[in-house]
Amino acid sequence: MIVPAIQPPPIMPSKYGPAAAMRAADLPGIGSLSVKELFPEFAPEMFNHYGGDLAAIIKATEDALAGVDMSMIKPGHTVNILSCEHGFSIFGGGPYVEMIKTIKRVVEERTGCKTRLRLAMYRGFKEADEVREYFGLDEIFEGRVAGAGPWDKGLEIETEIGPVYVVKKVFDADWFIHAYYDDPREIYFHRMLNRGLKAFVMAYARVETRSAFHFSFLNRGGAVLPRAIYNSPFIQEKHAFSCFMRTSPNGIIGIDGDNDLLAIDRRITINHLKTFGKMVRLIADLDDFIAIWDGGRWGYYIHAGGVCFGVVMNCDFDAFDLEQPAALSGLDDLIHKRDPEYIMDMNRAIKAVVINQSWPGIVISDVPKLAPTILVGRQNAELWDKDPANPHFMDFAVTAETLPAAVNFAKRVGGTEKVLAFDGSFGYLTLSEPLAEEMLAKAPAISTKVDEHYLPMWLAQRGIDMAEV
């Protein structure tokens, strides 16, 4: 059943989030359940826990790049390796950094050019500085590192839907390498349509473009924006190749390099529908549980078995089903006014949320409305009280002094002993025994249902033949 809890990745010190006195994995009654016990049919992983063998990542990156054409990069050209914020929290950031380092080495060996690193971040002005210091990136890139954020100088580019603004510093080179990761965050926004292109409308884009993606399109149609940016002459003329850290609920399953980003994206789509499709449907079928946010940036984006909390919160609705117009975008209230069927309801199985460690700064006003929300520690409470993105949050949340106290309270008000920790885990879920029992009992039927009903539907909606899977 469950084994002693696998220790989650450590939390990078940051001004944006508090330290954690205790982790969920250290709670009594909490252990780890292997994803392989739930879905043994998933392809094996190469990396599935913090402290795993990073040499595998290096080798996989070298192999992935062996088939990539780099002949367009000539001596004297400038080359930006683009990196994004969430990669630095997956498994504590180590695998992502090794992939980036290997890209740097291989590109410089093959082309004779010196690469530069761009750290494309969410909105904190110090995020990039924290990452570069923590991972020693200035030393690795000999000082050729720069952060980029949504209010940096913009560059207007023409696309097939009109002009949009990217961040100039991100693309201030002759070539760029899109060094990314594919974990399925925000499925309720991108609906697994061009997930691989999302950075073009988020981390690489000005604030106005990010706003447009979330608020000026519904979530199926919004996929046109990153596609239009990627298809633009400006991007196409600078894109050398892309290299992705590929994941499944099992962990990191490989590194994928290609000059054709859309080809990588198609492979991601197939894999995610096959694997995360099952994990998400299983979580959607749970009766009740307490969620603990336990490390790695913003709460919506912390993983449990590879699935992040935001996806779990919105998984009552099948976001992979493109026939469903239900929207989670800035326009969802527009639809709600017309027809409640279109609104994306929240996962009522979440009976309480314990915030042990995460960063404020993203609108989570729905969380305390969904379930009792308990912060751990006064430092946490002070941070969230100041958060301008959630000005009403502390009117609804309560504070407990310690994690055990918070969880005990959550169990009492939530009426359940089932606990799931979102601590950045892939390959394992950090959880309580009763929840493990429920998941193990339900997984086989979910697996069959996805294979026989959901997956063929999802693939057909995306023009993907089952034979390709």
Minimum separation from the CB atom of position 239 to other proteins (A): 19
Q: State how far the Cα of 245 lies from the Cα of 277, in Å rounded to an integer.
A: 19
304 close to 430: Cβ distance less than 8 angstroms: yes
Cβ nearer to other proteins, comparing 211 with 448:
211
Minimum separation from the CB atom of position 249 to other proteins (A): 25
Q: Quick one: tokens of 262?
A: 């859309």
Which secondary structure element, helix H or strand E, spans residue 83, and what is its range?
A: strand 79-84
Q: State how far the Cα of 219 lies from the Cα of 266, in Å rounded to an integer.
A: 19
Minimum separation from the CB atom of position 446 to other proteins (A): 26
Residue 91 CB contacts under 8 Å (≥ 6 apart), including other chains: 9, 47, 49, 50, 52, 252, 424, 426
Minimum separation from the CB atom of position 221 to other proteins (A): 4
Cβ nearer to other proteins, comparing 215 with 445:
215
Cβ nearer to other proteins, comparing 209 with 242:
209
Q: Which residue, chain included where needed, has tokens 């980029």?
A: 148
Please state the separation of Cα 375 from the chain's center in Å.
23
Length of the chain in residues, anyone? 469
Q: Which residue, chain included where needed, has tokens 């209230």?
A: 333
Cβ nearer to other proteins, comparing 104 with 210:
210
For the chain, how many helices (H) and strands (E)?
19, 18
Minimum separation from the CB atom of position 449 to other proteins (A): 24
Minimum separation from the CB atom of position 88 to other proteins (A): 18
Phi, psi angle pair for 76, to nearest 5°: 95, -15
Minimum separation from the CB atom of position 214 to other proteins (A): 5
Cβ nearer to other proteins, comparing 284 with 335:
335
Helices (H), 22-155: 35-38, 54-66, 94-111, 127-134, 137-140
Cβ nearer to other proteins, comparing 210 with 418:
210
Minimum separation from the CB atom of position 297 to other proteins (A): 14
Minimum separation from the CB atom of position 307 to other proteins (A): 23
Q: State how far the Cα of 214 lies from the Cα of 329, in Å rounded to an integer.
A: 5
The 10 Å CB-count burial string (b at 16+, else e) for 169-185 is bbbbbbbbbbbbbbbbb
Minimum separation from the CB atom of position 153 to other proteins (A): 5
Cβ nearer to other proteins, comparing 6 with 367:
367
Q: State how far the Cα of 379 lies from the Cα of 17, in Å rounded to an integer.
A: 9
Q: State how far the Cα of 409 lies from the Cα of 126, in Å rounded to an integer.
A: 35
Minimum separation from the CB atom of position 215 to other proteins (A): 6
Cβ nearer to other proteins, comparing 98 with 152:
152
Helices (H), 360-425: 366-370, 378-386, 393-396, 403-414
Cβ nearer to other proteins, comparing 18 with 92:
18
Q: State how far the Cα of 443 lies from the Cα of 441, in Å rounded to an integer.
A: 6
Q: Count the helix, strand and coil residues of the chain and give each as a percent rounded to the nearest 5.
A: 45, 25, 35
Q: Residue 142 to residues 88, 132, 137, 234: CA-CA distances in angstroms?
A: 19, 12, 8, 28
Q: Quick one: tokens of 196?
A: 């691989």
Minimum separation from the CB atom of position 25 to other proteins (A): 30
For residue 1, give the amino acid letter: M
Cβ nearer to other proteins, comparing 329 with 416:
329
Site residues (CB under 8 A) for other proteins? Answer: 123-126, 150-154, 156, 160-165, 193, 206-212, 214-218, 220-225, 227-228, 322, 325, 327, 330-331, 333-335, 337-338, 342, 361-363, 365, 385-386, 388-392, 461-463
Cβ nearer to other proteins, comparing 77 with 123:
123
Cβ nearer to other proteins, comparing 114 with 126:
126
57 close to 95: Cβ distance less than 8 angstroms: yes
